Chains A and B, each alone.
Chain A
Amino acid sequence: MLNFFKIFKVIAIVLWSAFVVAPFLWALTTSFKTANGVMGGATYLPWVDYEPSLAAWKGLFGSGAGSIDVVGPFTNSLIVTLSASAISLALGTLAAYGLSRFRYKVGPISNTDLTFFFISQRIMPPVVLAIPFFLMLGYFGLLDTIFGLIIVYVALLLPIAVWVMVDFFNNIPRELDETAMIDGCTPFEAFWRVILPNSLPGLVVAGIFCVVFGWNDFFFAFTLTFTNTQLLPVAIVSLNSSVTPWWSLSASALISVAPLIIVAFLVERYLEKGKISVASK
């Protein structure tokens, strides 16, 4: 019975992995093709099925005719995503700690309402926010700037950070904060010296969410920029002209996925650790 289950599990994992990995392999092999290689029907193996070419990859770094440089958009994406994620994580963690540990009461508004206020920022579809954001950035002269994009992305990522961290802090026993205060910590020191060092798994999860959402966003990168500060997803789509350059699209798609794959491998071990427990029994 156990063995049967094990075999079933392995088969399921293999099938799922193939399902997930296949598109990447397809993109990888396509990125080494030329126009002839793509149009001549399905081919799979370089050197055997078709003659590999580095043209698509060279094109991405700005050399060769008709190519588009992705280095600039890649850097822009990196700066915007990392800055916005870092700011969201810092502000979100502080806000979440406050919401988890202190009681606020202003008229009928209390903690749960405040938490809902943060999360409700993600309830409406992004299209609703496009025009307000466009007008606001335009008013402050921040359209098509990295700074403007960071502000917008913080607004998008902050709810995620707050949501993840409130839940995480609620699972840390309050006695830990109290003990820290009895041991001479002010409330902020209790947060900084005791709660934060024990919150690494939560910070990692929140950080991943922020980076993934930020890096993958196309909509605001598209609506709030023109030509000066293109982000990677927009740059990739703009490759598409009258003739679809499948090889360039494949190569740039792989480049855009690469950072997330690296992040996934780096944080894997933190995710496995899971929650900390303070009180035994």
Chain B
Amino acid sequence: MGYAIQSLNVHINDEPHLIDINLELPNSGVVTIIGRTLAGKTTLLKVLAGLQEVSSGALMKNKKDLLNVPAWERRVGMVYQQFVNYPHLSVRENIVFPLRRAKLNATAIKEKLDYVSELLGLEEYLERNPSELSGGQQQRVALARSLVKDTDLLLLDEPLVNLDYKLREQLREEFRRLFKDSTDRLVVYATTEPAEAMILQGQVVVLHEGRVVQVGECSDVFHFPATTISAQVFNDPPMNLVDGEIADGRICIAESLHVDLPEHLGKLKPGKYTFGIRAMDVVLERDGANAPIILSEVNGSSTIVHLDLSGRSLVLETEGVHHFGETGDVHFSLDASRLYVFSDVEGELVVAPPRKSVLGEKGKQNGQN
């Protein structure tokens, strides 16, 4: 039961935007679609909304074909990354617009308007025009309009991308609160930011160049990225991927860095692999290897340093704000127990490091209950 997307292809002006998508989505809960810009996230949401014609394939809901149902009969809500509101209507009329189209009576409209405007803190702006509001408030109006009506499906297309950092943090929390117990509708949230997927939890779909790369629970995708693409898309900064070789019980990374084989990689056959390691698992260490700095940047409360590892890029993330300067070397080491191994050519996951104990234990306990 739920939504089933079957061998879906979408071509726009002969350019493939979605290629052979097969997905099962539940009737309720949260699904995050994560992918880089132009991965096809918006196209997929538009297909679900009924705004995009498909070239081939099927979209079923509870065994019924949805593709023949036009957008205005689909019971969906959608929030765009631009703040789309009706410029000629007040905030109040913007919010109740879908209710008026559904021909609800005045009492019902009033009730729903009051509920939603309180939920999103819009009570004092109801008489204003959307253009008189800040970006965050405009996006709240758009969100209110999609929440106010009874829908089966709520689609959010990078709703926070045009907001400033502070507002983004704040609305993120609001989204978590709003969608945490989404039992009566499915929320599909498209984003480029792993942090947003993490906050919303739920199911994650990794999309890349129009194809589905991985589907799974949020923490599973984080701990076991199916491919190098998943590993890059679902980590910020993207996971480091460096070519290397296992030989003589040691790992040689980037032809220069030698690491003892850690326990979880003990059974691996010798040969060429792609090694993955998160930026935060590359640690500063006085006695470690050294590499020249390409660039260093401060991101929130941590510092990100880009290193040149024999021609490969290696990114290191460390807590706190540090100044590394423009040039010079940095001494570092890799936490070998956190190494991911992907196959050399296809980039598929071969071995992942074990989950860190806290999360792992909890996961097991939940499983038993």
A240 within 8 A of B: no
Tell which of A115-123, A183-191, A216-224 binds the partner: A183-191
Which residue of chain A lies nearest to B98 when distances are taken between CB atoms in the complex? Answer: A183
| Complex partner residue of B51 from A182, A184, A277, A279, CB under 8 angstroms | A182
Q: How far is the CB of A185 from chain B (nearest CB, A)?
A: 6
Chain A hits for B74, CB < 8 A: 182
Q: How far is the CB of A84 from chain B (nearest CB, A)?
A: 28
Contact B86 A178 (CB under 8 A): no
- Which residues of chain A from 178 to 226 have any CB-CB distance to chain B below 8 Å in the complex? 178-186, 189, 194, 197-198
Chain A hits for B367, CB < 8 A: none
Chain A: interface residue count, which band? 20 to 34
B305 within 8 A of A: no
Given contacts A183-B101, A184-B102, contact A176 B78 (CB under 8 A): no
What number of B residues sit within 8 Å (CB to CB) of A?
A: 31
Given contacts A198-B88, A276-B87, contact A184 B82 (CB under 8 A): no
B302 within 8 A of A: no
B76 within 8 A of A: yes
Contact A173 B72 (CB under 8 A): no
A280 within 8 A of B: yes
B71 within 8 A of A: yes
A175 within 8 A of B: yes
Chain A hits for B102, CB < 8 A: 184
Chain B hits for A276, CB < 8 A: 87
Chain A hits for B76, CB < 8 A: 182
User: With A and B bound together, what is the CA distance between A280 and B146 in angstroms?
Assistant: 19
Chain B hits for A183, CB < 8 A: 72, 97-98, 101, 145, 149
Contact B49 A281 (CB under 8 A): no
Chain B hits for A194, CB < 8 A: 86, 88
Contact B82 A279 (CB under 8 A): yes
A278 within 8 A of B: yes
B83 within 8 A of A: yes
Which residue of chain B lies nearest to A196 when distances are taken between CB atoms in the complex? Answer: B88
Which residue of chain A lies nearest to B133 when distances are taken between CB atoms in the complex? Answer: A280
- Residue among B49, B87, B142, B145 with most chain A CB within 10 A: B87
Q: How far is the CB of A214 from chain B (nearest CB, A)?
A: 29
Which residue of chain A lies nearest to B103 when distances are taken between CB atoms in the complex? Answer: A184
- Residue among A182, A194, A276 with most chain B CB within 10 A: A182
Chain B hits for A180, CB < 8 A: 86
Contact A184 B101 (CB under 8 A): yes
Chain A hits for B50, CB < 8 A: 181
Tell me the A residues contacting B by CB distance below 8 Å: 173, 175-176, 178-186, 189, 194, 197-198, 276-281
List 30 contacting pairs A-B, 8 Å CB cutoff, sorted by A: A175-B82, A176-B84, A178-B49, A179-B80, A179-B84, A179-B86, A179-B145, A180-B86, A181-B51, A181-B70, A181-B72, A182-B49, A182-B71, A182-B76, A183-B72, A183-B98, A183-B101, A183-B145, A183-B149, A184-B72, A185-B101, A186-B70, A194-B86, A198-B86, A277-B131, A279-B82, A279-B84, A280-B83, A280-B162, A281-B162
Can you name 6 extra interface pairs (CB under 8 A) apart from A189-B72, A279-B82?
Answer: A175-B84, A179-B84, A182-B72, A182-B146, A194-B88, A198-B87
